[in-house]
Structure 1
Amino acid sequence: MSGHMIRTLLTALFMSAAPAFAVGLQDTPCHAEVPCQLGDRSYHVLEPDGWDGKTPLPVLLHFHGWARQGDLIVKHGRIAGATRKRGVLLVAPNGLGKSWDFWSARTDDVAFTNAVLDDVAKHYPIDRTNIFVSGYSFGSAMAWRYACQSGNHVRALLAVAGTLNQSETCPQAPKEVRHVHGTSDTVMDFPFGPNNDTTYPVALWRAKYNCGAGIENGTWHITEHDTFTRTTWDSCNDGKVTLDIHSRGHFIPRGWIARQLDELLALTPSYP
């Protein structure tokens, strides 16, 4: 068999095995650790396990931490491990200089993120009613910035260990905010409020949603390593806020992103 015939056969086998939307992503398909080019920037994408190539997919758009890129996110057990098992499409944009410009509303990263979502929608049948935006550390602050500037279409913000200044004024907001932070965090310091108020990390969203008093839900855990104290604000005029705090430092807690997706998508809670 000639080399040309072998290449033709291998191409046909690949085309028949891969989902139609994923194959059409680019002339040279991008997937997982292979970035998708978008102008002079890029992003990563990963389908859930067992996807049939046509069912609309909820989306978790996750902003990486400082000095990282999306290639780490699509193989991260606490992020990709959650989306792969829950029928969620994982989208991980790449920040310029391996970081994000979340410091002010004048950032170009919000427009870039919207362009990423629009590009993803050209190649995957995404469920626009279930767009979740997440991030860790600097990426969490960027997720807050994105939700603040362009969050009206976002089902929920799932933020891990990073915030904006609580005095920011946000023109938009997601339908729901869920934030987790450690009181011993000294990288993106836990934002204690007056008199060491531990509910202050979500003060911005509570004000935006016109929330009343929070409800203390006690402690809960996903694994034996991480115990959370949860406070919820369910009776807000315009949205809903959930704050999980723990006593440890700067990290993504095991199973936290997975558990939020389980609750938001009405799935049976599981680990991982």
Structure 2
Amino acid sequence: MLRLVLCALALLSLAPTLHAEMAAERCHLDVPCTLGERSYHVMEPDGWDGEAPLVVLMHFHGWARTGVHAQNSDRIGASTRRRSVLLVTPNGRRKTWDFWRAGSEDVGFADRVLADVLARYPVDAQQIYVSGYSYGAAMAWRYACESGDDLAALLAVAGSIDQRETCAEAPPVVRHVHGLSDTVMDFPMGPGGDSTYPVALWRARLGCAAGLGQGNWQLRSFLTFTRTSWACAKGAVTLDLHPGGHFVPHGWIGRQLDELMGRAPSYP
């Protein structure tokens, strides 16, 4: 489905006035864009001139939240605003997501969200990222599993699907962060205490070689990440672990965007 969306984008790029007219409808920030009975939110980056192609981050919110929460978060929305990234935040039915099994209607909904965004804004089709937190991270995994071939990357925070699943599609880059003390979306420890198991599905799907420890890194003095990366036949996988629980780490989303966009990493 996303491939068809990108074809539509190519056609729409020939008609910039259409982008301008649709964006002028001003569904943005806490005013939702409606798609039938469902909706999503969009937040433009600081200083955007209204014409330059935008990098897109579609972020799935956590349980009992809405897309507005991610916009207002200094760990998500603030990071996209500062990095010329358009933040797109779909709203889940009853503030949750259907990610448990293949064939989720929420995958189709997310495809329609992207199609609507591409009609409203000039988008860099090579830089469409998907992310999520908690249940939203599991939804981001599900979306990447079923509609991920044309994504640039998956950025998941503290949530995933069953590592034994087989995915029809996959983005070329996967980055996942999880707390070893997480008891909400429990840390998925592998057989024999394998702490790299949280990305086993993508390592298998992308044909990854042995992992390489990248050492520890920090954005804030109170939280240390331990990074392992895999070079893969079809892309790359990165896993950041920390000793904490269930939360979006300060600056993690922004750091991943910086690295993937070829920018000097910064905080916040």
| Superposition TM-score, scaled by structure 2 size | 0.92
**In the alignment, which residue of structure 2 is the partner of 1:99?**
96
Tell me, yes or no, if structure 1 residue 144 matches structure 2 residue 149. Answer: no
Say whether the 8 Å CA contact 1:168–1:204 is kept in structure 2.
Answer: yes
**In the alignment, which residue of structure 2 is the partner of 1:206?**
203
Q: Indicate the RMSD between aligned Cα atoms, in angstroms.
A: 1.3
Measure the CA separation in 2 of the matches of 1:123 and 1:250.
35
Structure 1 runs of 4+ aligned residues shifted over 6 Å read none
Query: Could you say which structure has the greater relative contact order, defined with CA pairs below 8 angstroms and 6 or more residues apart?
Result: 2
Tell me, yes or no, if structure 1 residue 83 matches structure 2 residue 99. Answer: no
TM-superposed deviation, 1:162: 0.2
Deviations 1:26-57 (A, max 9, x none): 64x21111111111100000010000000000
Tell me, yes or no, if structure 1 residue 256 matches structure 2 residue 261. Answer: no
Pick from 156, 161, 165 the counterpart of residue 159 of structure 1: 156
**In the alignment, which residue of structure 1 is the partner of 2:261?**
265
Structure 2 residue matching 1:24: 3-state secondary structure: helix
Cα–Cα, structure 1 residues 165 and 229, in superposed 2: closer, same or farther, change >3 Å?
A: same
Say whether the 8 Å CA contact 1:75–1:81 is kept in structure 2.
Answer: yes
* Number of corresponding residues: 252
How do 1:161-240 residues align onto structure 2 when only pairs under 5 Å count?
A: 161-234=158-231, 236-240=232-236
**In the alignment, which residue of structure 2 is the partner of 1:15?**
none
Cα–Cα, structure 1 residues 20 and 80, in superposed 2: closer, same or farther, change >3 Å?
A: farther
Equivalent position amino acid for 1:25 in 2: A
Say whether the 8 Å CA contact 2:18–2:119 is kept in structure 1.
Answer: no
Pick from 38, 48, 52 the counterpart of residue 49 of structure 2: 52
Say whether the 8 Å CA contact 2:212–2:229 is kept in structure 1.
Answer: yes
Say whether the 8 Å CA contact 1:136–1:161 is kept in structure 2.
Answer: yes
Measure the CA separation in 1 of the matches of 2:150 and 2:207.
19
Tell me, yes or no, if structure 1 residue 42 matches structure 2 residue 43. Answer: no
Equivalent position amino acid for 1:54 in 2: E
Equivalent position amino acid for 1:58 in 2: V
Task: Report the identity percentage.
Answer: 60
**Max Rg structure:** 1
**In the alignment, which residue of structure 1 is the partner of 2:7?**
none
TM-superposed deviation, 1:106: 1.7
Tell me, yes or no, if structure 1 residue 126 matches structure 2 residue 159. Answer: no
Equivalent position amino acid for 2:127 in 1: N
| Superposition TM-score, scaled by structure 1 size | 0.90
Deviations 1:168-223 (A, max 9, x none): 11000001000000000000000000111100000000000111100001111111
**In the alignment, which residue of structure 2 is the partner of 1:113?**
110
Measure the CA separation in 2 of the matches of 1:256 and 1:226.
11
How do 1:2-17 residues align onto structure 2 when only pairs under 5 Å count?
A: none
Cα–Cα, structure 1 residues 22 and 68, in superposed 2: closer, same or farther, change >3 Å?
A: farther
**Where in structure 2 are there 5+ consecutive unaligned residues?**
1-16
**In the alignment, which residue of structure 2 is the partner of 1:241?**
237
